[in-house]
Amino acid sequence: MMGTEDADDIRGMLRDSAADYVKRSDIARDVRAWRRKPEGFDPKRWSEMVELGWVGLRAPEACGGMGLGVQEAVALLGETGRGIGPEPLAAVGVLALRALANGESDANSDLIAGLCEGGRIVAVAWQERAGAMQADECETLATPTPTGWRLTGAKDFVHGAGQANGLIVSARAAAGVGLFYVQPGDTGVTLETRYFTDGTTCHRMTLRDVEVSNASCIASPGSGASALDDALDETRIAASAEMLGCAQQSLDITLDYLRQRKQFGKAIGSFQALQHRAVDLYVTTQMMRAAVDRAARAFEPADARERALIASACKARCSDGALLIAKESIQLHGAIGYTDEHDIGLYVRRALKLSAWLGNGAQHRKRYAALSPALELV
């Protein structure tokens, strides 16, 4: 087990590595180049992230991963979030990887190793309607056959499937929800490309009598829902860290603009009314940071219910904060903020996407209230 100083050093190195990578990247060019393209992201950049160990950061060392925890993942994603690249680091490196790690199939270790080595990209197909929050909200059917299972149904908002060579699909059997591994080229699998608000790809997936073997059942019916829900909650914290990075960079861009833009012979950043608004945004980023740090520390030791509460509190705070900073950044930039030529618009669109992905602020407040113990009034 790592000591506190060792853990702090590792998180510091991850932050520095990610910050250097973002600094060396031409963010605006890369984001604009891959918007609304079916492939979704640059395979060369993904290979670089694999080589840096980022994709396998949460994977066990026995599978070729780094064997690090949620706090380390958050340290990394908080910096990569500044770069708003289209690579599905949280969707693949956290959601898919943790769903595999939580499953009980012997084949899962090989799939995780493939992710860590870069030979495999796996997306998770679980959501069937806008606003779905839990794995149990599943109508896709898994019917037993003599050799395995037959899957029938449809999934939406599948993140990271543009270059995926494997998909984790949730489906309901008599015993409950299970998780199954299918490939995009399997008979009966259809993927339709769609796009999120920021131009990154998502897919609608249709399964028509897709035959899978028993070996492709990565979490058996009855255990699949808990395995996936746990992975979803961890990914909500990861997405919150990305929102924090996006919001911090939005604020930095906005502050630079306030220093440079002049009216009446003065930088508009010298006007007290705008200074007050900028301070409010700074306070918002610090509240987001506190929420992410607390969630990352508390998540791993907690039980399933506590993890759900931790993730929803974090996601609600960060979704609301990211949207506030996005709105105010546009306002403080004035007319130029509404144009596509200014980079601030790229950050606004990413904030819109991340704030809604895996549940928006209102949905998570409702979930938190439902999971919280009732107050006893004396």
**Helical ranges in the chain per DSSP H:** 4-24, 27-34, 43-51, 70-83, 89-90, 97-102, 108-117, 224-260, 272-299, 304-333, 344-356, 361-371
Q: Which fold would CATH assign to domain 225-371?
A: Butyryl-CoA Dehydrogenase, subunit A; domain 3 (1.20.140)
CATH number 1.10.540.10 is the correct assignment for the domain at 4-117? yes
Q: Where in the sequence of the chain do the CATH 1.10.540.10 domains occur?
A: 4-117
DSSP 200-254: -EEEEEEEEEEEEEGGGEEE-TTTHHHHHHHHHHHHHHHHHHHHHHHHHHHHHHH
Per-residue pLDDT of the chain (378 residues; tens, 9 = 90+): 566 778 889 999 999 999 999 998 887 788 899 999 999 999 999 999 999 999 999 999 999 999 999 999 999 999 999 999 999 999 999 999 999 999 999 899 999 999 999 999 999 999 999 999 999 999 999 999 999 999 999 999 999 999 999 999 999 999 999 999 999 999 999 999 999 999 999 999 999 999 999 999 999 999 999 999 999 999 999 999 999 999 999 999 999 999 998 888 898 888 999 999 999 999 999 999 999 999 999 999 999 999 999 999 999 999 999 999 999 999 999 988 888 889 999 999 999 999 999 999 999 999 999 999 765 555
d(CA 378, CA 376): 6
- Which CATH code is given to the segment(s) 122-222? 2.40.110.10
Q: Where in the sequence of the chain do the CATH 1.20.140.10 domains occur?
A: 225-371
Q: Where in the sequence of the chain do the CATH 2.40.110.10 domains occur?
A: 122-222
Q: Are 195 and 225 in contact (CB under 8 A)?
A: no
106's CB contacts (< 8 A; 6+ apart) are none
pTM score of the predicted model = 0.95
